[in-house]
Amino acid sequence: MKQLSYRMENYDLIKIETFVNSTPYPSYDEMIEYLENNIELDSEYGEENHYLCKKIYENPTNKQLIIEAGKQIFAAGGIQALLANHTIIKYFSPYWKSDDLQIKSQGSIIEKYFQSVTDEWKA
């Protein structure tokens, strides 16, 4: 049973990586357009956080990279910036546009990883 679980998990990771490779993260200008009616998110984004969010998106199976990028976001803007940028990845990146619930749920996986960024984070 454990081997079946491992194979399914491995398949899931491959599926997410395939999606990311075929669906690029939007440019900074495109993201700013998406966020134009969300002032509280837009104010926490900026070019540096765009780079970090893109890096997180492009490396969906690299837990350590995601945590380190989260730490950089947190160091620059605190919990408000970390929350806003997580929301951006979860609801404004291509993950959210996918019809596949498993891919859509990648934002929740990042949420769990961000628990290692700060004690202020509650997943």
Task: Provide the residue-wise pLDDT of the chain in tens; the chain has 123 residues.
Answer: 444 344 546 778 889 999 999 999 999 999 999 998 888 898 999 999 999 999 999 999 899 999 999 999 999 999 999 999 999 999 999 999 899 988 998 988 999 999 999 888 775
CA distance 110 to 89: 9
What pLDDT does residue 81 have?
95
What pLDDT does residue 121 have?
79
Give the type of residue at 103. I
CA distance 61 to 14: 9
What pLDDT does residue 3 have?
47
Global confidence as pTM? 0.88
